């Protein structure tokens, strides 16, 4: 298969059946967004918002693009901007993994770190400050309709195609910008109304399920961190505010259930997907999969569930997800290394 450039490879990610980890009587599938060229679902967003801005004329040739990101959107934007020739500046809280900032810089982006204590709202405010000062183009991923539109045009259509003629009882996702949620949920609501939409969020940051409203500025943007938010390791999921796109999906009654996922479950199921199914994904994917298993435990026998897995595990090498993975040989590996060809341990010298 030939492509004119790397951007043609965005999307068309595989849906994979879960075999060992699926409960008996449940058809459980995952959509593995790590198959996007830069390893995450945010490659779709990045391409969608840039090309929409080009079509509208909002983005001028050679203009600098700026965005606030936990990493994956910035990495996707770095790919798109590198191919299209736009300078890119991203702001990112210093608490996010170092792999992400290195990848963005490797792709040519400039990364401006903001204090961890200022959280996601701090990243966004820095973007506003720099964009206004320099006349840069803001992609505004948390409110840009082109984000959700891209998922309606690609992710949702792929799901409809892959489950055409068969059941799809539940679709399980997390939320960050809300683009995947809004874009896919509205299509499923129209084309597959029998499919229940299940949204997962960190147990430490239950913004959707808390019943507490997000503080807003007069223009509708978040004015401060959500009162129910607390720090959590599920990077890319649940910034410290509810985005406009996420709220749109809720207001449209396109969310049937919200599940709270604890950090231990997110870590566990990311590891289990790797060791039991050979699927290498990050913490937020483990969290979404944990949610899918909760759904499966209560779903009628014969139900079909599709779970979104947002990104690759390589984004998390410096995080607690890999804390127990040794860089040196383990005792078991040392024993293997000292074994003779017959399988007996060689005597000590």
Secondary structure (H, E, C), 269-328:
HHHHHHHHHCCCECHHHHHHHHHHHHHHHHCCCCCEEEEEECEEHHHHCCCHHHCCCCCC
Three-state secondary structure call for residue 260: strand
Mean pLDDT of 41-68: 97
- The answer to whether 284 is a known catalytic residue is yes
Question: Average model confidence (pLDDT) for the chain?
Answer: 93
Express each pLDDT in 90-110 by its tens digit.
999 888 778 888 999 999 999
Which residue out of 31, 42, 126, 196 is catalytically annotated? 42
Whether residue 189 sits in one domain with residue 314: yes
Query: 3-state SS of the chain: helix, strand, coil percent to 5?
Result: 40, 15, 40
Domain that holds residue 113: 42-138
**Per-residue model confidence (pLDDT) at position 237:** 72
Mean pLDDT of 70-74: 89
- pLDDT band at residue 341 under the 50/70/90 scheme: low
pTM of the predicted structure, to 2 decimals: 0.92
Whether residue 78 sits in one domain with residue 11: no
**Per-residue model confidence (pLDDT) at position 277:** 98
| Residue 87 resides in a domain | yes
- pLDDT band at residue 342 under the 50/70/90 scheme: low
**Per-residue model confidence (pLDDT) at position 146:** 98
**Per-residue model confidence (pLDDT) at position 343:** 55
H or E, element range at 249:
helix 244-251
Which residue out of 40, 243, 270, 284 is catalytically annotated? 284
Check: CB of residue 125 under 8 Å from CB of residue 157.
no
| Residue 163 resides in a domain | yes
Q: Looking at 59-153, list the stretches that DSSP marks H as alpha helix, in order from N- to C-terminal side.
A: 72-84, 98-106, 119-134, 145-153
The enclosing domain of 277 has a CATH number of 3.40.50.1100
Whether residue 270 sits in one domain with residue 230: yes
Express each pLDDT in 230-247 by its tens digit.
877 777 677 788 999 999
**Per-residue model confidence (pLDDT) at position 40:** 96
Whether residue 305 sits in one domain with residue 184: yes
- The answer to whether 102 is a known catalytic residue is no
Express each pLDDT in 274-330 by its tens digit.
999 999 999 999 999 999 999 999 999 999 999 999 999 998 888 888 889 998 999
**Per-residue model confidence (pLDDT) at position 249:** 96
Whether residue 292 sits in one domain with residue 171: yes
């Amino acid at each position: 298969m030939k492509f004119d450039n790397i951007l043609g490879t965005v999307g068309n990610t595989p849906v994979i059946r879960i075999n060992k980890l699926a409960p008996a009587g449940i058809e459980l599938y995952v959509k593995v967004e790590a198959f996007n060229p830069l390893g995450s679902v945010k490659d779709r967003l990045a391409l969608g918002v840039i090309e929409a801005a080009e079509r509208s004329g909002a983005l001028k040739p050679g203009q600098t693009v700026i965005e606030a990101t936990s990493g994956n959107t910035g990495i996707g934007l770095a790919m798109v901007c590198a191919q299209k020739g736009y300078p890119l500046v991203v702001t990112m809280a210093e608490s996010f993994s170092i792999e992400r900032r290195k990848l963005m810089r490797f792709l040519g982006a400039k990364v401006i770190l903001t204090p961890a204590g200022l959280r996601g709202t701090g990243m966004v405010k820095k973007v506003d400050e720099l964009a206004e000062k320099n006349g840069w183009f803001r992609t505004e991923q948390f409110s840009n309709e082109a984000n959700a539109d891209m998922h309606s045009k690609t992710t949702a259509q792929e799901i409809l195609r892959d489950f055409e003629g068969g059941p799809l009882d539940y679709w399980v996702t997390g939320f960050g910008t809300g683009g995947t949620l809004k874009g896919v949920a509205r299509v499923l609501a129209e084309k597959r109304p029998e499919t229940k939409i299940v949204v997962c969020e960190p147990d430490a940051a239950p913004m959707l399920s808390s019943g507490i409203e997000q503080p807003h500025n007069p223009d509708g943007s978040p004015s401060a961190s959500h009162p129910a938010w607390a720090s959590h390791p599920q990077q890319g999921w649940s910034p410290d505010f509810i985005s406009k796109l996420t709220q749109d999906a809720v207001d449209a009654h396109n969310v049937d259930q919200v599940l709270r996922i604890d950090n231990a479950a997110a870590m566990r199921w990311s590891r289990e997907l790797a060791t039991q199914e050979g699927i290498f994904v990050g913490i937020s994917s483990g969290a979404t999969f944990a949610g899918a298993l909760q759904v499966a435990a209560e779903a009628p026998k014969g139900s079909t569930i599709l779970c979104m897995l947002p990104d690759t595990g390589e984004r998390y090498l410096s995080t607690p997800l890999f804390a127990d993975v040794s860089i040196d040989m383990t005792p078991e590996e040392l024993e293997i290394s000292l074994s003779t060809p017959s399988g007996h341990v060689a005597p000590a010298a």
